[in-house]
Amino acid sequence: MQGLVVNDIVKKYGEKTVVNHLSFSMEKPGVYALLGTNGAGKTTSIRIILGMLLSDSGEVTFNGKPLDVGTVNVGYMAEERGLYPKATVMDQMLYFASLKKVPKKEAAKRIREWAEKLGLTEYFYPPKTVKNKKPKAFRAEQLSKGNQQKVQLMATLISDPDIIVLDEPLSGLDPVNTNLFRDVIREVSKQDKYIIMSSHQMATIEEFCTDLTILNRGETVLSGNLNEIKRSYGRVNLLIKSDDNIDSYIEKNNLNVIEKTPGEIKIKLDNEEQASMLLKQLVADGVSIVKFELTEPSLHEIFVEKVGEVHEEI
């Protein structure tokens, strides 16, 4: 099979199974989400996919051959951040590019482009001053956490990889840098790349990913196309906004209110017929209705339903 295929991966540590028969495939470029709480087995799965860990059984293939990061261009942004603190960011980026066999002239060009795109130009190319006519690029330890994260994203993408793995890429970023990272991911996702993303920010997953797998204690609890999964639940969320008090209608119909603010009420339905019945009652009694919206459950709601607990990461 063409594309990226993870087939029946199993990993045990002693008697503990941390990944139990994980399978999924990306037959064409796109963004695939691998989700789970801490301890679900995501990081172990990613390390196996990248060949950093050996599985006890199963295989990972790319375009019909075992995935070998020595021959397939892969970029990996690990959840555990880390740069060489005393080395300049320029030296590190040239080094990372050389590991991926990017010619030095091409690497310099890409570094300049990415530095401008990520707002890092002053750290890679500090301006000359009267006292310092040959300034050195900044060392990693001189950068803020957010800027270090940008440098690591640059290191992940500098070789123009075919397969990209982003493990919690937005973790700890401020809103401005979060938007910047999302813009970069959006741009890269349009370039025929195979991207695996793991994130606890479900809104980001919904924005980028068409297919997903949710893990819980090493087990696959949900897998498939996100839109199809949401449709299978039906439109069971009802959002109501009214100028009148409708508490008595909610109580009479024994509806489950899951969130109530001064401006809006969110109700979890058993089926869409409950919404129709409520709407008929409100209209018949002349109740002012500002908003009456049925929606599918969010990925966050589906995730919590399937997983629930939080465990220690493995």
pLDDT tens by residue, 245-298: 999 999 999 999 988 988 899 999 988 899 999 999 999 999 999 999 999 988
pTM for this entry:
0.85
314 confidence band (pLDDT: 50, 70, 90): very low
Q: Specify the pLDDT at position 87.
A: 94
What pLDDT was estimated at residue 310?
Answer: 44
Confidence band of 133 (pLDDT split at 50, 70, 90):
low
Higher pLDDT, 130 or 194: 194
Q: Annotate the chain with three-state secondary structure.
A: CCCEEEEEEEEEECCEEEEEEEEEEECCCEEEEEEECCCCCHHHHHHHHCCCCCCCEEEEEECCEECCCCCCCEEEECCCCCCCCCCEHHHHHHHHHHHCCCCHHHHHHHHHHHHHHCCCHHHHCCCCCCCCCCCCCCEHHHCCHHHHHHHHHHHHHCCCCCEEEEECCCCCCCHHHHHHHHHHHHHHCCCCCEEEEECCCHHHHHHHCCEEEEEECCEEEEEEEHHHHHHHHCCCEEEEEECCCCHHHHHHCCCEEEEECCCCEEEECCCHHHHHHHHHHHHHCCCCEEEEEEECCCHHHHHHHHCCCCCCCC
